[in-house]
Amino acid sequence: MFNSDLKKLAKLLKEKHLTISTAESCTGGLVASMLTDISGSSDYLLESHVTYANSAKHKYLNVSSEILENYGAVSPECAQSMAEGLQKLSNCDIALCTTGIAGPTGGSKEKPVGLIYISTGFQGITTVKKYTFNPFLPRKIMKSAFAKAAIRMALDTIKQA
């Protein structure tokens, strides 16, 4: 089923002559890797950034220190700022960003392992969605689930436009 979503996204991006860029934290570049699994992805994938550290989110995506200090990197505010910053940085049609906690450490009661915020910026609208996955998934599987959710969200964003 997932490969179908990936192929549909690639086809839609090509048909509509849209470009996409990614900024990833918890997925560590996996979303971009999946996008490049499709031959011809250079037609639509402009660039990808792994902004794992808060300093990288600030430096490359212009996520403000206030957002990072007041809400943290794993927050809807940060995800929104990441998408808005990525669109400005790359001049892409659709920005796709991830920030979350893949575990097995790093979670808290307020922000448990398995929490991710995925954001898209498309046609002047930034959308942020919260997802929560099973906190007991192994890290590699968690990252894969996060990346697949991001691909689905990008596909849904374009379809709904």
Structural domain count of the chain:
1
Using the predicted structure, report yes or no on whether residue 10 has a pLDDT greater than 80: yes
The band of 52, judged by pLDDT with boundaries at 50, 70 and 90, is very high
Percent of the chain with pLDDT over 70: 99
CATH number at residue 119: 3.90.950.20
pLDDT given for residue 76 in this prediction: 98
pLDDT given for residue 20 in this prediction: 98
Q: Are strands 125-132 and 115-122 parallel, antiparallel or unpaired?
A: antiparallel
Alpha carbon distance 88, 81 (integer Å): 11
Smallest CA-to-CA distance from 99 within 152, 57, 134, 141 is with 57
Using the predicted structure, report yes or no on whether residue 161 has a pLDDT greater than 90: no
Using the predicted structure, report yes or no on whether residue 2 has a pLDDT greater than 70: no
Distances (CA, A) of 86 to 17, 58, 141: 19, 11, 26
Contact 139, 147 (CB under 8 A): no
pLDDT tens sequence across 107-138? 999 999 999 999 999 999 999 999 999 999 99
Using the predicted structure, report yes or no on whether residue 31 has a pLDDT greater than 90: yes
pLDDT given for residue 3 in this prediction: 84
pLDDT given for residue 62 in this prediction: 98
Alpha carbon distance 16, 92 (integer Å): 13
Distances (CA, A) of 83 to 3, 54, 133, 139, 156: 24, 15, 22, 24, 16
Domain that holds residue 91: 2-160
Using the predicted structure, report yes or no on whether residue 1 has a pLDDT greater than 90: no
pLDDT given for residue 99 in this prediction: 98
Using the predicted structure, report yes or no on whether residue 78 has a pLDDT greater than 70: yes
Average pLDDT, the chain: 96
